[in-house]
Amino acid sequence: MSINTPALNGKSLKRRSSYTDTNLLLIITIAVFIVMYVCAVVFLKKGFTKPQMFFNILNENASLLVLSCGMTLVMITGGIDISVGQVTSLVCMACAVHLEQNGGNVFTSILLALGIGLAFGIVQGFLVAYLEFQPFIVTLAGLFFAKGLTTIISSDRISVTNEAFVKLCRYEVTIPFLGSVNKKGIFIPAYVEIGVVVALVLVVLLFCMLRWTKLGRNFYAVGGNNQSANMLGINVKLTKFLAHVLCGLCAGIGGYLFFLHACSGSPLHAQGAEMNAIASSIIGGTLLSGGVGNIAGTLFGVLSLSTIKMIVTSLGFDDPWWTNITVALMLCIFLLVQSVILSRKNKTKK
Amino acid sequence: MSTNEKAISSSNSVKSFFAKIVRNQLFIPIAALLLLIIFNFAADIILHADTSFFKIVLEPSSTGNMVLSGNLITIIDNASELALLAIGMTLVTSASGGQDISVGATIAIAGSTILRIVKGYSPDISGAKFAAVIIGAFLLSVIVSALFGAFNGALVAYFKIQPMVATLILFTAGRSIAAWINNNDNISINDTRFGYFGNFIPGIPVPTPVFITIICIIVIALVLKFTNLRLYSQAVGINASSSRLNGINPKTIKLLSFIILGICVAVCGLIKVSRTSSITYAVIANNIEMDAILAVALGGNNLGGGKFNMTASVLGAYVIQFLTTTLFRMKVSSSAISAYKAIVVILLIIMSSPFIRKWLADRKNRRLAAKAGSNVRKEVA
């Protein structure tokens, strides 16, 4: 009996610690999303019962989803990137000017978007990883640089009229068997925009990368403990650099998806997107201290964030300030939950 | 032989004197200030063939009283908010090892609070009553922004969230809360007396914000002189757990630094809304958080916490405003200015980074070693 007790204790400890990690946060996020959506369907009804409502959430937030995925990667390595929102704005503006005034085509505009994202990722990653600056300061400077650059390119809104591009914007992927019947009794199938497909493919790719490749495991190792990762023979600097480069690339792709959705470039695009991306990652269970996080959680983080925005708007608080306050409140709550979980985890370790 | 030695020692003392100056924390802001002055002077002479930039004249303002005007006055006037923020931001940086990025949004909240109180009173009330209203509104805004500061501070100190992420919450929500306080109305105060705090008091030729800033600087200097605030916040910033073992409560000190920043923010809010007698929630004190952090960095303070030099930070704030004015003069549009400032930030961080310092120190050591080696070889020969 006395021999068995420590073993049992060890087992229970192990189980508890596995729950306090990613799983608990992920379960909370999924539960929050499902409860919120069900409540919206039951109490609000206004369109929430239609499948198209769900797909509209995806349509509007495809770019946010990609940005959040990039943010999650950086946050897993223990960094942060607050420049993504303004990079999105810069990409929209640069592509719009490229298509409208420089006579570019769709293919070169995609290359331009990826190039801008990569450039920001490489420079910021180099400064953070190899010159060891605080990621927050570097990316804050990146944010203001992108902001200034956007207005230097053009301070007005530019709508895109390029035929091929507009066709791509309007392209709808219909979803079989899902849809609603309108008043005349005609079945309207649900649809998603092409950006959603790209975003979801990227989510799957990044999920697999984090879970099954060496690079993905390195991200977790570096974020969990810098020094022990170094001792294990992981190139810590290169890993951090790659995380920032991938985040920059995601910002480029996310920027192009935003461009596809908005079909225009404007200095006011994607205001506060970095905040939403950070909030989605945190709600999705990524710890700010690094080492813990999950792309699947981020997906649900984005979904719950956009659902609560939708609910706030449909409750009649359509002023944009209400959504800001709600997002901040939600971020605050999840930060507190994280902090409590972390301090409990430290206690169990001791 | 002896003269040779003397020459070497004197050259060494000159060298060490210069090294001392360069190593002084005030070197970077003062050098930057001199550089900007020389640049403006040169630009003036080359482009305009006069020195209009530095001219200060006494002329009647739009309201009829004699005031000083000129670029230098404008710079000192406009830098007031930044200098006040730099005071609080330096303390926060020192104690918590991070920066508060919600200051712009909290200024909006403080300004909105003041306007909410003042708008209810008609412009024809007597002077004493009006002063009471203003003081009441200001005290309320001090309490409100100190509370928001305490909220940030509690998240940082008690929940151990990184300062920049904790203040991200108010960075997003702050302007919305400010709009919510006044139901998103565009308020403007018609009473000219309300504008005294941001502009000129009749009969005094110097802008009021300058006086407010000087008073605040004196207050903080006295506080740092006669209390243990400097020692405690540096101790907490350098090593929180060992300062706890020495009987300092790091949580209280961090909380206190955020509350002090909150009070500074309230003063800024008063100046800001008084300047225009109105508020635009999305634009008021826009991008000021970046400038405040830049001022602290320019003062040569370590952004990772620990030792600080308040004089250098405040001087840094004035240099930033000088830079902004210079950029405006070069016909850079106000929205594009942030791109240039971002480049300055990056350059500054690169210069002050531990990596570069280590590299420079290594180079110096290697050179010294090489010198010593050659001396040894000479002696052997």
CB A90 within 8 A of CB A149: yes
A317 contacts on B by Cβ (under 8 Å): none
Is the residue at A312 inside a domain? no
* Closest residue in A to B159 (Cα–Cα): A339
Are B341 and A328 within 8 A, CB to CB?
A: no
At B6, list the tokens.
């003397």
Q: What are phi and psi of A61, to 5 degrees?
A: -115, 20
User: What integer pLDDT is reported at residue B8 of this predicted model?
Assistant: 58
Is the residue at A56 inside a domain? yes
Are B155 and A335 within 8 A, CB to CB?
A: yes
A149 contacts on B by Cβ (under 8 Å): 336, 339
3-state secondary structure of A191: strand
User: What integer pLDDT is reported at residue B122 of this predicted model?
Assistant: 67
Quote the number of domains for chain A. 1
* Closest residue in B to A340 (Cα–Cα): B159
Percent of chain B that is helix, strand, coil (3-state, to 5): 75, 5, 25
Q: Residue B188 pairs with which residues in a beta bridge? A: B278
Are A149 and B339 within 8 A, CB to CB?
A: yes
3-state secondary structure of B59: strand
Are A335 and B342 within 8 A, CB to CB?
A: no
Q: Is A127 on the interface with B (CB under 8 A)?
A: yes
Mutate to test the interface with B, among A137, A152, A278, A335 (most CBs of B within 10 A): A137
Q: How many CB pairs under 8 A join A and B?
A: 128
Are A132 and B169 within 8 A, CB to CB?
A: no
User: What integer pLDDT is reported at residue B43 of this predicted model?
Assistant: 80
Closest CA to B301 of B292, B289, B288, B310: B310
CA R_g for chain B: 24
User: What integer pLDDT is reported at residue A46 of this predicted model?
Assistant: 67
The dihedral of CA B34, B38, B44, B47: what is its sign?
A: negative
The CA distance from A51 to the nearest CA of chain B, in Å, is 31
Render the burial of A182-217: b for 16+ CB within 10 Å, e for the rest.
eeeeeeeebbbbbbbebbbebbeebbebbeeeeebe
Is the residue at A328 inside a domain? no
Q: Is A278 on the interface with B (CB under 8 A)?
A: yes
Q: What tens-digit pLDDT sequence spans chain B (381 residues)?
A: 455 555 556 666 777 777 777 667 777 788 888 888 888 888 878 776 666 777 777 777 766 677 787 888 888 998 999 999 999 999 999 999 888 989 999 999 999 999 988 887 766 677 788 888 889 999 999 999 999 999 999 999 998 888 888 888 888 888 888 988 888 788 888 777 888 888 888 778 888 999 999 999 999 999 999 998 899 999 999 988 899 999 899 999 999 999 999 999 999 999 999 988 888 887 888 778 888 888 888 887 877 888 898 999 999 999 889 888 888 888 777 777 888 888 877 777 777 666 676 777 788 788 888 877 777 777 766
Is the residue at A332 inside a domain? no
Q: What are phi and psi of B101, to 5 degrees?
A: -100, 10
Is the residue at A12 inside a domain? no
State pLDDT tens for residues B218-243: 999 999 999 988 999 999 999 888 99
CB B215 within 8 A of CB B270: no
Q: How far apart are CA B303 and CA B295, in angstroms?
A: 11
Is the residue at A22 inside a domain? no
Are B346 and A127 within 8 A, CB to CB?
A: yes
CB A80 within 8 A of CB A135: yes
Q: Which of A148, A272, A339 sits opposite B342 (nearest CB)?
A: A148
Closest CA to A240 of A214, A210, A220: A220
Q: How far apart are CA A38 and CA B87, in angstroms?
A: 50
Is the residue at A203 inside a domain? yes
Q: What tens-digit pLDDT sequence spans chain A (350 residues)?
A: 344 444 444 444 444 444 445 677 788 888 888 888 888 888 776 677 777 778 888 888 899 999 999 999 999 998 889 899 999 999 999 999 988 888 778 888 999 999 999 999 999 999 889 887 888 888 888 888 898 888 888 888 888 887 888 888 878 777 777 666 666 667 777 778 888 899 999 999 999 999 889 999 999 999 888 888 888 888 999 999 999 999 999 999 999 999 988 888 888 887 778 888 988 998 888 887 788 888 988 999 999 888 888 888 877 776 777 888 888 888 888 888 888 877 777 776 65
B162 contacts on A by Cβ (under 8 Å): 136, 288
Q: Which of A80, A136, A144 sits opposite B341 (nearest CB)?
A: A144
ipTM given for this complex: 0.75
Q: Is A267 on the interface with B (CB under 8 A)?
A: yes
Closest CA to B291 of B219, B341, B326: B341
A325 contacts on B by Cβ (under 8 Å): 173, 176-177, 180
Is the residue at A171 inside a domain? yes
With 0-12 / 13-18 / 19 or more C-beta atoms within 10 angstroms meaning exposed / middle / buried, residue B225 is exposed
Q: Which of B165, B173, B353 sits opposite A328 (nearest CB)?
A: B173
What range defines the domain where residue A184 resides? Answer: 51-278
Are A324 and B346 within 8 A, CB to CB?
A: no
User: What integer pLDDT is reported at residue B27 of this predicted model?
Assistant: 77
